[in-house]
Chain A
Amino acid sequence: MQELVKYLVAAIVDEPEAVHVTASEQGGMTVYQVEVAAPDLGKVIGRHGRTADALRTLVSTAAKRRDQRATLDILS
């Protein structure tokens, strides 16, 4: 799962080597904290948060496939 999060974010940003992902467990749900280089922040969030929403949808679908629950937070 963490690999997926890293891959998705790295695919979007201009500085993939600056992408860091950590995970924590919150009430039966895995939350992936994503950190990117400052100039890439707007790219991962997108207009009206559209890109961030899309990333969350994909992560949650992948979790569902594994009978888990997961979401993603972008640290700014």
Chain B
Amino acid sequence: MRFVEISAPTLEEARKAAAFQLGVSEEDVEIEVLGQPRKLLGLIGSGQYKVRATCEEPPSGDVVVGEVEGEAPAAAGIEPPEPQVITEVGAPVQPPAPPLQEPDHPAQAVAERAQQLTEQITALMGIESQVNITEIEDDQVKLSIDGGENTGLLIGQYGGTLDALQLVVAIGANKGIRQGCRVILDTAEGYRESHEEQLRRQACEAAQEAKETGREVVIPDLKGYERRIIHMELCEDPDVETYSEGDERDRRLVVTPVNHE
């Protein structure tokens, strides 16, 4: 079973577009209405029907959206509609286009695009959120997301979802900008900040333990930026040294006591 999701002004157009995208005739398409046209606000699909169109097995090989591939669908004689119609109905929201030339204030441009990207991605994820720019420096911008009651979902396990969002937004926002700018996404409640605070505490505890026992203390399962925070925290402590060992997923940080002769 395969399906596509389509937005179109009428159900008839949605069915036509779906049949074309799936490469089958209109009779073979099951339509399920996901959303009615909304006249008032609503960023996405305003004034449009949103449907999920399902069909049984494909008629021939892979079907590429927006193109007719291979032979005509089983029910011959049915002409697919003009391809232009499809691209129009299939893509209601577009990411911001990259600037044509290097902007005067690259960090400002990156921050604004990052804000727009974060708002639209979270909206499409079904998590309405308010995004604010909280800091703009030459090589770094910070944004905060207020996801209301869905903030936990937005953070994810061990901050995984927030990290993923930050990475995608950073790539998208830096598109077309020569000098890269670090993008940091935090929640309005300051998840990242309090997590960093916790890591710094963990670093001090590990250093303390290394000094008292005279043995190495190993901290496994840290992400790259988490290890960096601990290295930074302990780099000025003359009684311990820190280093990382192991590969990729097994990489761990070691705090070792320094023996002053």
Contacts from A to B (Cβ < 8 Å):
1-4, 6-8, 10-12, 14, 16, 20-25, 35, 43, 46, 48, 50-51, 53-55, 57-58, 61-62, 64-66
Instruction: State A75–B163 Cα separation when bound (angstroms).
Output: 24
Given A51-B168, A62-B126; A11-B161 close (CB under 8 Å): no
| Residue B171 interfacial (CB < 8 Å) | yes
B121 touches A58 (CB 8 A): yes
For the complex of A and B, the 10 pairs showing the least CB-CB separation, nearest first, are A11-B172, A54-B164, A57-B164, A62-B125, A11-B95, A4-B124, A2-B5, A65-B126, A54-B167, A20-B65
Nearest Cβ in chain B — how far from A49, in angstroms?
11
A16 touches B125 (CB 8 A): no
Name the interface residues of B136-171: CB closer than 8 Å to any CB of A.
150, 153-154, 156, 160-161, 163-165, 167-169, 171
Q: Which B residues are in CB contact (< 8 Å) with A53?
A: 164
Residue of A nearest to B249 (CB): A48
A65 touches B127 (CB 8 A): yes
Binds A, one of B86-94, B99-107, B230-238: B86-94
Q: Which B residues are in CB contact (< 8 Å) with A1?
A: 5
Instruction: State A21–B91 Cα separation when bound (angstroms).
Output: 11
A12 touches B171 (CB 8 A): yes
Q: Which A residues are in CB contact (< 8 Å) with B117?
A: 11
Contacts from B to A (Cβ < 8 Å):
1-5, 7, 21, 44, 62-66, 90-95, 117, 120-121, 124-127, 150, 153-154, 156, 160-161, 163-165, 167-169, 171-172, 175, 248
Instruction: Identify A61's interface contact among B4, B91, B120, B125, CB under 8 A.
Output: B125
Q: Which A residues are in CB contact (< 8 Å) with B126?
A: 62, 65-66
B95 touches A22 (CB 8 A): no
B153 touches A64 (CB 8 A): yes
Most central of A3, A14, A21, A55 by chain B CB within 10 Å: A3
Nearest Cβ in chain A — how far from B241, in angstroms?
28
Most central of B3, B121, B125, B153 by chain A CB within 10 Å: B125
Q: Report 12 cross-chain contacts, Cβ distance below 8 Å, ordered by A residue.
A: A3-B124, A7-B120, A11-B171, A11-B172, A25-B2, A61-B125, A61-B153, A61-B154, A61-B156, A62-B126, A65-B126, A65-B150
